[in-house]
Structure 1
Amino acid sequence: MTEPHPVLSVRGLSVRFLMPGGRRIAAVTDAHFDVAAGECLALIGESGCGKSVLASALLGLLPANAQAAGQARLGDLDLLSADERTLARRVRGRLIGLVPQSPAAHLTPVRTVRSHLEETVAALTGVRGRAAVRAAALAAAERAAFPADHLDRHPHQLSGGLAQRAATALALVGDAPLVLADEPTTGLDRDLVNRTVDELRRHVDEPGRTGGTGRALLMITHDLAAAERIADRVAVMYAGRIVELTDADTFFGPTGPRHPYSHGLLQALPDRFFTPIPGMPPELGDLPGGCAFAPRCGQVSPACAAPPPTTGGLACHHPRPAASAPAPEDLRA
C-alpha cells in the first residue's frame, strides 16, 4: 500500500535577507520536512533561529528584501512560487489557518472580535443567514475558550491572552487542511495552554467538513511542555537549520534526542536539570563555516570545522548514542 501524500512537503527551503551594502543574512537554510494528515509537528528552538521566518515564507508574508528558494508544496500548489492573488484568495485562511505570533497586530483595531469572527465565518464556511453566522461565530469562540461576554470588545481592550484566544478561534474557522500556529500559547496560563493545544490537536484529529483523515498542524513554540502534550514529531532548529527531526516519544523519552543542542534544550527545563546552554546563538549574518553550534558544544572536535552531514534526521558530527528504536525519517527522504 502506498503512503498518502503529506499535507505539507518542504524541500530545500532557504530564506536570505538582502541588507544595505550587499550583506546577506541566512535566516533559514535548506529546510526539509513533511507534515502528514493527522500529524502535529512541533518546530522548536531559541528565539532568532529562523522559525517564524520559515512560517512567513510558507504564507508569502516575507518582507521585500527577502529571497526564498526551494519548494513548499501544499497539495498541488507550491507556496513559494504562488503569486499574491493566489495566496490571498486561496491559501491564507482556506488552505492554511494561521495563529500568528503577535495576534493583536493581525486584528483590525476598529472591529470587534464578534465582527471578526462573523466575517470570517461568512467568507470561509458557506454559512448563510444572520442567526446561523452569529451562532457559528459563537461556537468558534467557545472552541478557543474566548469568553462570550468579551466578543463585543475591540482588540485594544483585550489582554494578550485574550487576543491569542481570538486569533486561535479565527484560525480554526476555515477548516484549513494545515494549521500553522506560531507561539499559540503566548500569554496564557497553564490551564489555558493545555486547553488551547488540546483544541488544536482535536482539530487535527477530526475529519474536516468535507471528510478526509484529518488536518495537519505545524506548531512553532518555545513551550516544550505544550509540544510534549500534543506533538507527534519534533523538529529542532538552530541558526537557521533544522538540526534534528525525530519522534516526540523519542525526543521526550528516557533516551532523549541525539543532537547536543536538542539535549541541552531539555536539560534547561525547570523540571529537569535547569542547566542553561552556555554561550549565545550566533548572528545569522555572521555564521561560522562549520557547525554553528560548535562554540557552545561540549563534544566539539576538529571535525566540527566542516558542516555536519545530515543523516537519519540528524545533522551532527558527534551525536549522542542512538536508542534501540527505529531511526526517524531522513530529512532528505
Structure 2
Amino acid sequence: MRGGRLVAAVSDVSFDLAPGQCLALVGESGCGKSVLASALLGLLPGNAEVRGEVRHEGRELLTADEATLARTVRGRRIGLVPQSPAAHLTPVRTVRSQLRETVRELTGTRRAQLDDAVAGAAERAAFPADHLDRYPHELSGGLAQRAATALALVGDAPLLIADEPTTGLDRDLVDRTVGELRRHADDGRGLLVITHDLAAAERIADRVAVMYAGRIVELTSASAFFGKPGPRHPYAAGLLAALPERDFTPIPGMPPELDALPGGCAFAPRCDRATDACRVRPALTGTTACHHALEGVHA
C-alpha cells in the first residue's frame, strides 16, 4: 500500500532454481527486484498483500508464520546478503561479536574453536581481520557489504539470496566476491543474485531473469543472454547495449512508478518497436514477454 492505494510492486513472477544453479535477477532500480527478495523471506511491511506460492525444500514459505521463518528458515535454510548491509548489522555490537554469535548458532562450533571459525568466515568474504573489532558505524560501505556477506555465508544455507552483493566494492573485490558466491552454487546450493552489475552476472549466472515494472520480461540461459542469439526483449537488449564495452547507449526515458503503470506493455513508452499491439500486456511466452521479440541480436 502507498498513500492508501494498492501498488502491484511484483506480479506474474514465476521461476524455479535448482541446487547447484545461479539465477541472476537484473533490471533498473525500482523494478521490484528487492521487493521480490523480501517476499521470499517474509520481510515485507505489515501492510503488504502477498499471493501465490513459494516452495523451498517442500515448505510453503508465503504462508509460514514469523516464528517458523525466524527460527528454521532465515539464515539456516535461506541466507541473505541484504541490499543495505549497514541497516542489517547490529549497531551496538562489533563485527567479531556478530560473527561469533552467527557461527555458534548456525554451525554449533565449540567455544574453543570459535576464534578460528570467525577468522575463516571473515577471510571467506575478504573482510580484514584488523577490522573485526569495529562497530558498524566505523565501517565504509564496502566493508559493511563484506561483513554482511561473511554473516550470510556462515551457515552454508541450501539457498542464498544475494541482493546487490558487489555494491561499494572495487573490481578486485567484486571478482573475489563473485568467485566465492559461485563456489556456493558449485557446491550444490541454490543462488539467487540480484544485481545491476551485468559483468558480474555474466561471470556468475547460469540463467538470467530480466525484471521490468514488477514483472519478469525475459528468462533465459546466461549463455544465450550474453552471447548468441542474445536477449529477445527490447528492454533486455537495451540493458546490454548500455554497457561501456558494448554500444554505451542508454535506454531513453525512465522506468514507470509502480503505482502508476501504463496500460498494456509497461515498456512501450520507451520502446522504438511499440505498436498498437502493445496496448495489451504481453504474457511471458517461452523466454520472453513481448509482442515484438528480437531475433538473433548478436548473430
The one of 187, 209, 212 aligned to 1:238 = 212
Q: Offset of 1:288 from its aligned partner?
A: 1.5
1:19 aligns with 2:2: yes
1:68 aligns with 2:42: no
> 1:296 is matched by which residue type in structure 2?
R
Aligned residues: 299
CA distance, structure 1, for counterparts of residue 75 and residue 115 of structure 2: 19
The one of 314, 319, 324 aligned to 2:288 = 314
Aligned match of 1:328: none
Q: Aligned ranges for residues 163-178 of structure 1 at < 5 Å?
A: 163-178=144-159
Aligned match of 1:31: 13
SS at match of 2:266: coil
Do the aligned residues in 1 keep the contact of 2:25 with 2:195 (CA within 8 Å)?
Answer: yes
CA distance, structure 1, for counterparts of residue 77 and residue 65 of structure 2: 15
The one of 158, 161, 168 aligned to 1:180 = 161
- TM norm structure 2: 0.98
Aligned match of 2:30: 48
Q: Write the deviation string for residues 179-234 of structure 1: whole angstroms up to 9, x where unpaired.
A: 0000000000000001001001111112xxxxxxx101000000001000110000
Q: List structure 1 segments (4+ residues) > 6 angstroms apart after TM superposition.
A: none
The one of 121, 141, 147 aligned to 2:128 = 147
Q: Write the deviation string for residues 265-312 of structure 1: whole angstroms up to 9, x where unpaired.
A: 000011111101011111111112200000001111110000113211
Moved more, 305-314 or 189-198: 305-314
Aligned match of 2:274: 300
SS at match of 1:246: strand
Do the aligned residues in 2 keep the contact of 1:120 with 1:170 (CA within 8 Å)?
Answer: yes
Gaps of 5+ in 2: none
> 1:256 is matched by which residue type in structure 2?
G
CA distance, structure 2, for counterparts of residue 309 and residue 157 of structure 1: 48
| Structure with greater strand percent | 1
SS at match of 1:41: strand
Do the aligned residues in 1 keep the contact of 2:228 with 2:296 (CA within 8 Å)?
Answer: no
Aligned-pair identity (%): 74
Q: Offset of 1:131 from its aligned partner?
A: 2.5
Do the aligned residues in 1 keep the contact of 2:230 with 2:298 (CA within 8 Å)?
Answer: no
Q: Write the deviation string for residues 147-193 of structure 1: whole angstroms up to 9, x where unpaired.
A: 11111111111111011001111001011000000000000000000
- TM norm structure 1: 0.88
* Gap change, CA 1:306 and 1:71, over 3 Å in 2: same
SS at match of 1:315: coil
SS at match of 2:225: helix
CA distance, structure 2, for counterparts of residue 176 and residue 225 of structure 1: 25
Aligned match of 1:88: 70
Aligned match of 1:104: 86
Gaps of 5+ in 1: 1-17, 207-213, 326-333
1:120 aligns with 2:94: no
Q: Write the deviation string for residues 130-151 of structure 1: whole angstroms up to 9, x where unpaired.
A: 2311111110100100111111
SS at match of 1:217: strand
RMSD: 1.4
Q: Write the deviation string for residues 56-110 of structure 1: whole angstroms up to 9, x where unpaired.
A: 0011110012111101111111111110000100111001111001111111111
